């Protein structure tokens, strides 16, 4: 009988996932955030308005080396990073709970929507964040839980570097440091490590790696921190909003994976820290719960007082619970639990079906024909269209005006991102808006004073924005409409205007004036 080793099984899962993500990357355009990130990454910066810089740097370097901004090329580093994240998941879980637990943790990670799809391939900070979070946790578990290993300064140094690189990806990585502190404080036998220089060396190194973010924010009024903390500002008491956020988390993770993850997390917290290290399983469970606690609990509770609460904010916490889910699956499978075997198979099958339906519709829009009533309120997959027709639209509009167009402007950061990515640097693109995001830092308006602009955007957003532009141009002249198509079907209605003689004084809320 053929025996498949755990390592080979994990490698097979990772390889299959990598191939599938490459196919998806070639089939589906960049989403809203991806287009924005790809456009903003045209300019290298120490940090950026929305997030720390690492994923922007990765995109900038990839485009610089390859000379291409094709979706597959830009997404490739993120796909490879998730393959590394999956391997780290296997190694960490194997170290803590056994090799088959590692296989199941890796499998379930790769059939969870938020991880396998968005984290696994999209141009988002979550890809490098998850990789470096697990890299840091891998070093910590090697120091703290491998018999005979003693925490060393090189180990703490490496953990600090990885944590710093995580923080250079997204602010969530600070929970690795806070989770480690919580674990050491609550672990009677390890509390003494806080009296050694190692943890403080790790914290200092993390700070140094994170320093570019602080330098950039210092020079720009701490705007990134103001923006992010403002998203969690209290505005009331909203229990229903928190329940809705929890439901969103379940949908993003997929409910049949979220429910056991949540149950394991609650049970691990309820059992608390161990008094003696001989309770090996709970000791390791408590460590992972300490790591997961901050992102899950803080960002869920934030919605109770009115935070926006995006559903993926808790994902870094759930990431650290997959080793526990893998262990539970391995124990049940070994005991002969047929229901768990069917659950594992069903999770894989359901994920494949969901991906095939959603990806094929995103690429072609076929469900609009089969079930048009489903999209009466709009089709969110339209946001994954690359506006490839924009260069031709701009050329024709320029010919129509008979004047030289020096720059493009739009009234919403999402439209600006789509335009800038499609134009690939052929024109400078400004976001003349009250929420310009990082576009406000890319160009000074004085550079374009006295020049003509082509004003483009979706009819739904640009129609309102252009009403404000009158005082900032000598004239704003309608040029007509254009459309972005998907498989021959018009999907996005654009409106175009000529802005004559820009005055260079549109009141941006931050950035270069």
Residue range 221-247: mean pLDDT, rounded: 87
The neighbouring-strand residues paired with 431 are: 410
The answer to whether the beta carbons of residues 361 and 123 sit under 8 Å apart is: no
The answer to whether the beta carbons of residues 451 and 406 sit under 8 Å apart is: yes
pLDDT at site 1:
40
d(CA 280, CA 238): 40
**Which DSSP symbol is given to 381?**
G
d(CA 155, CA 374): 53
How do residues 135-168 score in pLDDT, each as one tens digit? 999 999 999 999 989 999 999 999 999 999 999 9
How do residues 18-39 score in pLDDT, each as one tens digit? 999 999 999 999 999 999 999 9
d(CA 421, CA 70): 10
The answer to whether the beta carbons of residues 85 and 133 sit under 8 Å apart is: no
Residues in the chain: 513
d(CA 263, CA 240): 21
Q: Is the pLDDT of residue 125 over 50?
A: yes
Q: Residue 320: helix, strand or coil by DSSP?
A: coil
pLDDT at site 305:
84
d(CA 298, CA 303): 9
The neighbouring-strand residues paired with 499 are: 453, 476
Nearest to 125 by CA among 81, 159, 93: 81
3-state secondary structure 326-368: HHHHHHHHHCCCHHHHHHHHHHHHHHHHHHHHHHHHHHHCCHH
pLDDT band at 308 (very low <50, low <70, confident <90, very high): low
Element (H, E) at 267: helix 255-271
Between residues 3 and 142, which one has the greater pLDDT? 142
Residue range 302-329: mean pLDDT, rounded: 91
How do residues 418-470 score in pLDDT, each as one tens digit? 999 999 999 999 999 999 999 999 999 999 999 999 999 999 888 788 889 99
Residue range 480-505: mean pLDDT, rounded: 94
pLDDT at site 427:
95
The answer to whether the beta carbons of residues 472 and 505 sit under 8 Å apart is: yes
The answer to whether the beta carbons of residues 86 and 107 sit under 8 Å apart is: no
CA 269 → CA 26, 69, 264, 304, distances in Å? Answer: 42, 45, 9, 21
């Amino acid at each position: 009988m053929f025996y498949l080793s755990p390592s080979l099984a994990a490698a097979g899962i990772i390889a299959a996932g990598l191939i599938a993500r490459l196919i998806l990357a070639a089939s589906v355009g960049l989403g809203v955030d991806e287009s924005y990130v790809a456009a903003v990454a045209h300019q290298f910066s120490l940090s950026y308005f929305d997030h720390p810089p690492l994923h922007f740097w990765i995109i900038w370097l990839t485009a610089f080396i390859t000379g291409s901004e094709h979706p597959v090329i830009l997404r490739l580093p993120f796909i490879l990073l998730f393959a590394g994240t999956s391997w780290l998941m296997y190694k960490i879980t194997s170290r803590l709970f056994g090799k088959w637990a590692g296989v199941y943790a890796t499998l379930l990670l790769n059939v969870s929507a938020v991880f396998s799809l968005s984290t696994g391939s999209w141009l988002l900070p979550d890809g490098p964040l998850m990789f470096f979070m697990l890299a840091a946790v891998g070093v910590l578990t090697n120091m703290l839980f491998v018999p005979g290993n003693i925490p060393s300064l090189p180990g703490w140094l490496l953990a600090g570097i990885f944590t710093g690189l995580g923080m250079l990806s997204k602010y969530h990585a600070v929970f690795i440091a806070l989770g480690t502190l919580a674990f050491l404080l609550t672990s009677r036998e390890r509390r003494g490590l806080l009296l050694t220089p190692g943890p403080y060396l790790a914290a200092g190194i993390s700070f140094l790696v994170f320093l570019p973010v602080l330098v950039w924010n210092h020079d720009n009024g701490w705007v990134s921190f103001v923006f992010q903390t403002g998203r969690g500002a209290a505005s009331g008491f909203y229990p229903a909003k928190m329940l809705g956020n929890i439901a969103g988390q379940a949908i993003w993770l997929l409910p049949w994976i979220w429910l056991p993850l949540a149950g394991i997390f609650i049970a691990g917290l309820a059992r608390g820290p161990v008094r003696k290290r001989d309770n090996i399983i709970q000791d390791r469970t408590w460590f992972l719960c300490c790591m997961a606690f901050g992102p899950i609990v803080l960002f869920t509770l934030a919605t109770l007082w009115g935070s926006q609460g995006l559903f993926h904010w808790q994902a870094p916490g759930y990431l650290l619970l997959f080793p526990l889910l893998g262990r539970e699956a391995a124990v049940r499978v070994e005991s002969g639990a047929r229901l768990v075997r069917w659950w594992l198979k069903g999770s894989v099958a359901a994920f494949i079906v969901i991906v095939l339906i959603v990806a094929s519709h995103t690429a072609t829009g076929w469900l609009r024909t089969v079930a048009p009533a489903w999209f009466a309120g709009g089709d969110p997959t339209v946001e994954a269209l690359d506006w490839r027709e924009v260069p031709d639209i701009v050329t024709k509009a320029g010919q129509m005006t008979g004047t030289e167009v020096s720059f493009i402007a739009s009234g919403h950061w999402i439209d600006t991102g789509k335009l800038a990515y499609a134009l690939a640097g052929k024109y400078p693109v400004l976001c003349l808006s009250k929420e310009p995001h990082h576009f406000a830092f890319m160009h000074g308006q004085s550079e374009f004073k006295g020049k003509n602009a082509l004003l483009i955007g979706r009819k739904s957003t640009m129609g309102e924005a252009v009403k404000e532009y009158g005082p900032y141009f000598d004239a704003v002249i309608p040029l007509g409409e254009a459309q972005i198509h998907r498989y021959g079907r018009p999907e996005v209605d654009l409106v175009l205007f000529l802005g004559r003689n820009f005055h260079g004084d549109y009141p941006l809320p931050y950035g270069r004036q």
